[in-house]
Structure 1
Amino acid sequence: MQGKNSVIHRKAQAAREEFDARGMSTAKALRVALARVADRCYGLPLVVTTVEQVTISQASVQDAVADGGLLALLDGEDRHPGALCLDPQFVMGLIEVQTTGAVKNTQAAARPVTRTDAAICAPFIDRFFESASSQLEENSPKIEMENYQFGDMVEDARTLALALDNPDYDVFRLSVDLGDGAKTGLMTVFIPIAQHTERAMRKGVFAQSSSGPPGLGDIVRNAPVTLTAVLDRLEMPLKDACKLEVGMCFPISPGALADAQLTSTGGHVAARVMLGQVNGFRAARLIAGRNGPLLQDGGAQAPGLRSDDRQTGETPEPPADSHLSLQPSGHLGGEAHESRTTSEAGDSVQSEALRAGADNGLAEV
């Protein structure tokens, strides 16, 4: 009887394939992908006998999940997860074909599904959705479906329903014959309607509505960051630091512009930079990052980058006095730089590069 039904099912499937050849739908993509992955990747004869599609609300998810079998959450590129359920016959068929090479013509015994069972079924699930998504993208650009992957196994229908937070879901139930009718299984797929976009066409064919607020990754990547270029670090007694006033100056090493530090909030050194000018604009050229130098030749200079105080020889010796001598500033030969009270001579870098420092190696407080 099972063999007779299998022949009838195959004839019916051949007729459906001829009918579906005129266009690709989500149901067809799932059906074709299921049979194709089973045959090409596992050598498993699999025939999809029926495909049922319904739309349910999130409140009805728990009632739509059958007892027993594998219940899995599906991870996609968006934040809305999907779900997949395999009944015990389907799970046992996948395990048998991967362990013994064939599906046994016996009824699977009722038992709890383990995480080992889930690990055996996970690659099949990943390949199944990869194939379905690829077919929709190639044959029907108006239809989009997330390239889901196995996320995690859940224990019961209630836990699965709590993990699915989308308002509505498209539910696909695929009845299959495994191993030339040796077993009859059922796969149930829950796809969020917000992500199953037969209603929201993409790629400019029709206007697509916003998929929701930006994710955490987008927010972090677009967050503003303030970096500070530190020319030099100077040591002085606290009494001298308290005497710093506008108009005082202190010496800066001539090589400071060629080896400045780019620091972030908290003083963390993000990179080493060379300060200069490019086409009249202030510029900072990266010469070393967290993983070491960025240039093979430290003396190489980018075209157009000019540093007025580029270090070409030995660094001048510091003054004999270990402490700085603060003096009122006279006329400085170049544009004066502002100093932090923490003895860091620098300039904030926000959306524009830095300009070269004073020609005479002095910075104004």
Structure 2
Amino acid sequence: MAVGDAAAGIKVLRRKAAGGRALPPDHPEPRAPRALRRALARAAQADCGLALAVTEVRLAEVSLAELLEQPEPRALLAVLEGPGDRLGFLALGPAPLAGIIEQQTTGAVGRTEVVARRPTRTDAAMCAGLIDHAMTELELGLAGTADLGWAGGFRYASFLDDPRPLGLLLEDVGYRVLTAQLDVAGGARQGSLLLALPAADPRRRAVPTAQGGAPTTERASAERVWRADLDRTVMASPASLQAVLGRLRMPLAAALAWKPGDFVVLSQATLDGVTLEGPGGKRFVRARLGQCGGHRALRLPCDPVPPTDDEE
């Protein structure tokens, strides 16, 4: 075998090991890896007070067939929707997923070994806000760069409990894949995150302006950044939820006759019948009352079903 052929073979093997094709040498240096580092760290800290560091990020371009082989087994699969109905996805490994859930439910990340399990819709619901926050931060970090075209405007859309439908759900085009290694809570949890988005830049499709034909790429980019900033502000707004153990009906006179020391009988109340309610009494989900770390806590079901309006 000639020396040149051997070198070419080594390059092919390295490219396969990397899980995709590196961007061409004449391509501008991508900003997405550095922006993703900051986006994930900021979103984790802001959303749940979690210390999350990205130790490594790789960017590659792959086909759909190559992409379907890359998600880690038992990873949380979040489908992302972007401009022009484009779809991508984010895959979060079992270890960092466990760290995020632990931080949100107990306020601390455990250091025991993670037992990989199948992610649930509850896991996805608890991670959706963090994912959207991270995508917003990524978009803001890429403002004014070429990478904003393919990485901007994506938000959480749905959850897949099985990776097999990805091949039918995603368009058969090239994808840019950011693979990050995560360190959660100072090494308590370590694992991977994969972000896959269509490689084509939809902004390159020229859209005429009202003045007669100039592409509106810059205006569309500025508008996306403005929307992302608005989303970030709205998602940071406080939201109040109340845990309601039970309800009863009585005449107003009876309620006014209450005095300190009286007992109120909640005949329909049960530990697993607590409802979480928002402003205006909107009921979101039933939960079970218990304790965690010496504090009263609610356990949400794996597949929450909103209570009906006629439940008391």
TM bucket, shorter chain: 0.5 to 0.7
Q: Please give the residue correspondences for 1:46-61 in structure 2 after superposition, counting only pairs within 5 Å.
A: 46-61=52-67
Inter-partner Cα distance in structure 2 for 1:90 and 1:121: 11
Structure 2 residue matching 1:92: 3-state secondary structure: helix
User: Contact between 1:73 and 1:151, CA under 8 Å: does it hold in 2?
Assistant: yes
Partner of 1:63: 69
What amino acid is aligned across from residue 182 of structure 1 in structure 2? A
Aligned position for 1:351:
none
User: 1:28 aligned to 2:50?
Assistant: no
Decide whether aligned partners of structure 1 residues 172 and 141 sit closer, same or farther in structure 2, where only a CA change above 3 A counts: closer
The secondary structure found in structure 2 opposite 1:110 is coil
**Consecutive unaligned residues in structure 1, runs of 5 or more:** 1-22, 209-365
Q: Name the counterpart of 2:181.
A: 175
Q: Equivalent residue for 2:113?
A: 107
Whether contact under 8 Å (1:51, 1:172) holds in the other structure is yes
- Normalized per residue, the structure richer in helix is 2
Query: Could you tell me whether the CA contact under 8 Å between 1:53 and 1:170 is conserved in 2?
Result: yes
CA distance in 2, matches of 1:202, 1:27: 27
1:140 to 136, 145, 149: 145
Amino acid at match of 1:81: L
* 8 Å Cα contact 1:53-1:171 kept in structure 2: yes
Counterpart of 1:165 in structure 2 is 171
Matched, 1:96 2:102: yes
In the aligned structure 1, how far is the partner of 2:79 from the partner of 2:157? 5
Tell me how far apart the structure 2 counterparts of residues 45 and 120 of structure 1 sit (CA, whole Å).
17
- Mapped partners of 1:120, 1:207: distance in 2: 37
Per-residue Cα deviation, 1:194-247 (whole angstroms, up to 9, x for no partner): 1487xx599999997xxxxxxxxxxxxxxxxxxxxxxxxxxxxxxxxxxxxxxx
Aligned in 2, Cα 1:100/1:80: closer, same or farther, shift over 3 Å? same
Which protein shows a greater Rg? 1
Matched, 1:79 2:88: no
CA distance in 1, matches of 2:171, 2:82: 14
Say if 1:54 and 1:172, in contact at 8 Å, map to a contact too.
yes
What is the RMSD computed on CA atoms of the aligned residues? Answer: 2.7
> Hey, what does 2:46 align to over in structure 1?
40
Distance 2:107 2:202 in 1: 35
Amino acid at match of 2:37: R
Structure 1 equivalent of residue 127 of structure 2: 121
- CA distance in 1 between counterparts of 2:215 and 2:37 reads 26
Q: How does 1:282-361 map to 2 (within 5 A)?
A: none
- Structure 2 spans left out of the alignment, 5+ residues: 1-28, 209-213, 218-312
Residue 115 of structure 1, CA deviation: 0.6
Q: Partners of 1:176 and 1:206 in 2: how far apart?
A: 39
Q: Deviations over 1:309-347 (max 9, x none)?
A: xxxxxxxxxxxxxxxxxxxxxxxxxxxxxxxxxxxxxxx
Spell out the pairing of 1:249-264 with structure 2 (5 A cutoff): none
Cα deviation for residue 84 of structure 1 reads 0.6
Kept after mapping to 1: 8 A contact 2:30/2:147: no
Corresponding residue pairs, total? 183
Structure 1 residue 194 corresponds to structure 2 residue 194: no
Rounded to whole Å, the distance in 2 between the matches of 1:96 and 1:202 is 46
Check whether the contact 1:37–1:128 (CA below 8 A) recurs between aligned residues. Answer: yes
**How far apart, in 2, do the equivalents of 1:142 and 1:120 lie?**
28
TM-aligned CA deviation for residue 55 of structure 1: 0.9
Matches of 2:115 and 2:202 in 1, distance apart?
35
1:288 corresponds in structure 2 to none
Aligned partners of 1:141 and 1:202 also within 8 Å = no
Instruction: Look up the SS of the partner of 1:49 in the other structure.
Output: strand
Counterparts of 1:171 and 1:80, CA distance in 2: 15
